[in-house]
Amino acid sequence: MKKQVLTFKVNGLSHDAIVTPNMTLSELLREELGLTGAKESCGVGECGACTVLVEGKPVLSCSALAIAARDKEILTIEGLAASVGKKPGELHPIQQAFVDYGAIQCGFCSPGMILMAKALLDENPGPTREEVQEGLGGNLCRCTGYVKIVDAVLAAADVLRKEAGT
Amino acid sequence: MSHMSASKLPPFEYYEPATVEQASKLLDNHGDEARVLAGGIDLIPRMRAGTVKVTQVVSLQRVNGLDYMRRSTAGGIDFGAMTTLHALERWEDLRVGFGALYDAIHQITSVQAKCMGTAVGNLCVATPASDVAPALAAYDAGILVAGPKGERRVPLPEFYPAYGCTALGPGEIVTGVEVPAIPKGHGAAFLNLVRTHADIAKVTVTAAVVIADGLCKQARIALGAVAPTMFSAEMAEALLEGEEMTHELIRAAAAAAARETRPIDDLRSTAEYRRATTEVLVARALHKAAGRARVSAANWGADRGPSGEGVTR
Ligand SMILES: Cc1cc2nc3c(=O)[nH]c(=O)nc-3n(C[C@H](O)[C@H](O)[C@H](O)COP(=O)(O)OP(=O)(O)OC[C@H]3O[C@@H](n4cnc5c(N)ncnc54)[C@H](O)[C@@H]3O)c2cc1C
Ligand code: FES
Ligand code: FES
């Protein structure tokens, strides 16, 4: 099995990493690049905790190969705020809404939830409550009961639409 | 899949061929040691759990010409092996014209699984519990296959010769799916029975009928999760064809379909329950499909598109 040095574009920066074909994207992010925001929970594609965005699309990093993501734009929770021009320490509007609405308890599901919410709002900036519930259908939360998460995403949608002037 | 534990992926060689011929050659050379990788949402967890053991992984991600969706000249829809479930779900032509197929895809809860997973990957997993396979079968879909001996088209029920198996021979891959045009008076309905929406179906049904001059001209009843493979309930279909779709006849056809099942007992349901609920679901799906078929017959040629399904939804 070949070891290769490959270049990954993560959160707007290029990283070189030594990769073997059997490395998952979550192993690359967490173990090679030290980006532990994406959580690995079920490891089999069922919980959404490991969600990151690849070329803007939500990807379960536990079930994706790192090698297949080379040369693609990867966004993790660590880079979300900066991706909309926030300074270090500031939050993205979706993150801020999660804080404001108490949508975070243990926090294990939050990075995946927030990135999935971003993918949803990028595609559909004005979702109904039902569309938010459907959009987050692949993300499990064992703490909040989901209501506050859905409230937060709807509130973030309002903020983002106002910022975009639409 | 929840019983799988997540461990490190075993080592393998990884290929990203640029053409179908190269992919097919790699598969042919490595035989049982090789697997195709599409979205990976099924294959990677299985490799991590050790339930699929291969040393060669042939990714289709860079093969040209496998990611397409288009209306065929005849008015059907065609899509490629790398077309994701998410892309299909968002395709207006599919939603409006092929509503039961849309419903089968839309009810999959995980958006991530739909963004990564391909419809063809769903078919190639060859689980009898796929919701997508019966939906495509009820629309008479054909599977396009390419391999060392050239290209062929396999009608859907025949794509599954036995439990967990596909009709693919050595070195063969699926390149796409063709769904023929829908005739006047066509209606279809998808229904499944699940413990929770995130779980695998206990029973999954798509029924499609063509009604003309008050009679059922064609019936398709495709069933999943109630036999070793997805199958068409041919005796039930034969009861309906040529007849008026009365309540009594639909009830008789649903009972016939239930008799054609070969269900198992497992942690989701008993065989008896699966058979009993098949009868209920088939009857409901036939009623819905017949209602939509009548709307289609009445509205045909109006500017609302070729199928009644989009109109009644
Ligand atoms: C959380 C979750 C929920 C789900 N819910 C549902 C549901 O409600 N209903 C339902 O029907 N399904 C459901 N699925 C299943 C899902 O649709 C499939 O796992 C997925 O579509 C597989 O596609 P893939 O591209 O990821 O395939 P891969 O994992 O890449 O491949 C799967 C198998 O098919 C083979 N293969 C793939 N493409 C080809 C090809 N072109 N030629 C030959 N062989 C090929 C591979 O070798 C492998 O054996 C769910 C999955 C998840 C993770
Ligand atoms: S850890 Fe990837 S889906 Fe659960
Ligand atoms: S906050 Fe604990 S899992 Fe969601």
Per-domain boundaries in chain B: 2-59, 69-179, 186-298
Above pLDDT 70, what percent of chain A? 100
Which helix (H) or strand (E) segment holds residue A15: the answer is: strand A13-19
Is residue B312's pLDDT more than 50? no
| Residue B302 confidence (pLDDT) | 64
Closest ligand to the CA of B204: 1
How confident is the model over B156-164, as a mean pLDDT? Answer: 96
**CB–CB contact A137 B197 (8 Å):** yes
Domain spanning B2-59, CATH architecture: 2-Layer Sandwich (3.30)
Task: Answer yes or no: is the C-beta of B225 below 6 A from any ligand 1 atom.
Answer: no
B76-100: per-residue pLDDT in tens? 999 999 999 999 999 999 999 999 9
| Residue A135 confidence (pLDDT) | 97
The residue ranges of every structural domain in chain A are 4-79, 82-164
Is residue B313's pLDDT more than 50? no
CB < 8 Å to B13, chain A: 1-2, 21
The superfamily (CATH) of domain B186-298 is: CO dehydrogenase flavoprotein, C-terminal domain (3.30.390.50)
B183 phi, psi to nearest 5 deg: -80, 170
CA of B245 to the centre of ligand 2 (A): 46
- ipTM for the complex shown: 0.96
Task: Answer yes or no: is the C-beta of B269 below 6 A from any ligand 1 atom.
Answer: no
Mean pLDDT of chain A: 96
The superfamily (CATH) of domain A82-164 is: [2Fe-2S]-binding domain (1.10.150.120)
Position B308 confidence tier, pLDDT thresholds 50, 70, 90: very low
Tell me the sheet residues that pair with A24.
A65
| Residue A2 confidence (pLDDT) | 84
Mean pLDDT of chain B: 93
Above pLDDT 90, what percent of chain B? 87
Is residue B177's pLDDT more than 80? yes
CA of A41 to the centre of ligand 3 (A): 11
Instruction: Name residues 218-277 of chain B within 8 A of A (Cβ).
Output: none
Is residue B280's pLDDT more than 80? yes
Is residue B205's pLDDT more than 70? yes
Task: Answer yes or no: is the C-beta of A141 below 6 A from any ligand 3 atom.
Answer: yes
A82 phi, psi to nearest 5 deg: -65, -30
Q: How far apart are CA A12 and CA A83, in angstroms?
A: 8
How confident is the model over B306-313, as a mean pLDDT? Answer: 40
How confident is the model over B44-48, as a mean pLDDT? Answer: 96
How confident is the model over B225-232, as a mean pLDDT? Answer: 96
**CB–CB contact A60 B41 (8 Å):** yes
Place of tokens 């699309």: A57
Closest ligand to the CA of B110: 1
Instruction: Establish if A38 touches chain B: CB-CB under 8 angstroms.
Output: no
Q: Supply angle C-alpha B141, B147, B151, rounded to 5.
A: 50
**CB–CB contact A63 B44 (8 Å):** yes
pLDDT-wise least confident of A82-86, B1-5, B6-10: B1-5
Is residue B5's pLDDT more than 60? no
Q: Supply angle C-alpha B87, A98, A107, rounded to 5.
A: 90
pLDDT-wise least confident of A13-27, A85-99, B111-125, B261-275: B261-275
Tell me the sheet residues that pair with B13.
B56
Q: Residue B243: is it exposed, middle or buried by C-beta count within 10 angstroms (0-12/13-18/19+)?
A: middle
Single-letter amino acid, residue A6: L
Q: Residue A53: is it exposed, middle or buried by C-beta count within 10 angstroms (0-12/13-18/19+)?
A: buried
**Which fold, A4-79?**
Ubiquitin-like (UB roll) (3.10.20)
Cβ atoms of residues B127 and B230 within 8 Å: no
Query: What is the token pair recorded at B313?
Result: 């939804």
Q: What is the pTM of this model?
A: 0.95
**Which fold, B69-179?**
3.30.465
